[in-house]
Amino acid sequence: MPGEPLAHTPAATDAVLRRLSGYAPLAADEAALLRQVTARPVPVPARTELVRDGEAAPRPQVLLEGWACRQRLLADGRRQIVVVLLPGDLIGLDQRRRPLPFGSVATLTPAQICEAGALRDAADGGRTCGKAAGKETGLAAALRQAREMEEIWLVNQVVRLGRQTAYERVAHFLLELRERLAAVDRVQENRFSFPITQEVLADALGLSVVHMNRTMQQLRRDGLVEQRATAITLRDVPALVSIADYTGTGDTGIPRA
């Protein structure tokens, strides 16, 4: 994998804070907590397992920079990437009870990771007890929303894999990436960093590398996308939306007062 300079975008507010505050308004102390959690990112090389298969209690972590994925391997080596994880995404904040046969989580590119154990309480639904009991805190609401987004990505993935052609799958996937990356401010004029190999893409979309390649080329020839180095531009979003029957994830990326 080529260098991918981990562009610490100038304006890169911390992706986690950016994303969560887009889901629900955060109190000052909640924002401070997040900033504290993400203060000391640990660099991790590509192809590193962050959560091992069947691990008893995966440590909560946060992906600050770089791409990762949840994946599952079949006995004969076939790999399916279940979801791609992007900057600002959370890892292992749910399912902390039993060791679940969930597959593993691994980086796809060099990445910046933070331990996020401090978010566990909030993620557990932390609500104000006492007189205001029942009112969810902003952070808890945001984390809930983040969890729900991940379920939406899963559903999208199921529909892509189950009922769409290769061409449609790629279009749909690219639109989803664009929307998710926009929520953390990493899209400019439909152009965003695209640091994964076609092999990874193929494993995410249930295709062979060869066919993945054919399909990307077709999209380029049709003038729908343009790829240069490790960045991609969606040249005709409406066309892509129509091809992919894309309905969005409801994630506008617009912070709500």
| Residues at the contact surface with DNA, assessed by CB under 7 A | 1-3, 165-167, 197-199, 206-217
- First and final C-alpha spacing in the chain: 40
The secondary structure of residue 111, as a DSSP letter, is E
| Residue 21 binds a copy of itself (CB under 8 A) | no
| Residue 210 binds a copy of itself (CB under 8 A) | no
| Residue 152 binds a copy of itself (CB under 8 A) | yes
| Residue 215 binds a copy of itself (CB under 8 A) | no
| Residue partners of 178: CB distance under 8 A and separation at least 6 | 187, 190, 192, 234, 237
CB of 158 to DNA, least distance (A): 14
The secondary structure of residue 116, as a DSSP letter, is -
Query: Binding partner of residue 152 among DNA, a copy of itself, none, CB under 5 to 8 Å per kind?
Result: a copy of itself
Query: Binding partner of residue 2 among a copy of itself, DNA, none, CB under 5 to 8 Å per kind?
Result: DNA
| Residue 199 binds a copy of itself (CB under 8 A) | no
CB of 174 to a copy of itself, least distance (A): 17
Burial class (CB in 10 A: 0-12, 13-18, 19+), 220: middle
Q: How far lies 247's CA from each of 5, 96, 156, 251, in Å?
A: 33, 31, 10, 11
- Chain-centroid distance of CA 68 in Å reads 8
Both tokens assigned to 210: 């060869």
For DNA, the closer CB: 54 or 223: 223
| Part of the chain binding a copy of itself (CB under 8 A), chosen from 3-11, 56-64, 109-117, 245-253 | 245-253
Quick one: which of 59, 72, 191, 220 contacts a copy of itself (CB under 8 A)?
72
CB of 178 to DNA, least distance (A): 18
Size (the chain), residues: 257
Q: How far lies 95's CA from each of 99, 101, 120, 147, 163, in Å?
A: 8, 11, 11, 11, 29
CB of 209 to DNA, least distance (A): 6
Spell out a b/e string for 79-114, using b for 16 or more CB atoms within 10 Å of the CB, else e: ebbbbbbbbbbbbbbbeeeeeeebbbbbbbbbbbbb
For a copy of itself, the closer CB: 173 or 193: 173
Q: How many CA atoms lie within 13 A of 252 on its CB side?
A: 6
Query: Binding partner of residue 236 among a copy of itself, DNA, none, CB under 5 to 8 Å per kind?
Result: none
| Residue 10 binds a copy of itself (CB under 8 A) | no
Tell me which residues touch a copy of itself (CB under 8 A): 70, 72, 74-76, 78-80, 82, 94-95, 97-103, 124-125, 127, 129-130, 133, 136, 141, 144-145, 148, 151-152, 154-155, 157-159, 161-164, 205-206, 245, 247-250
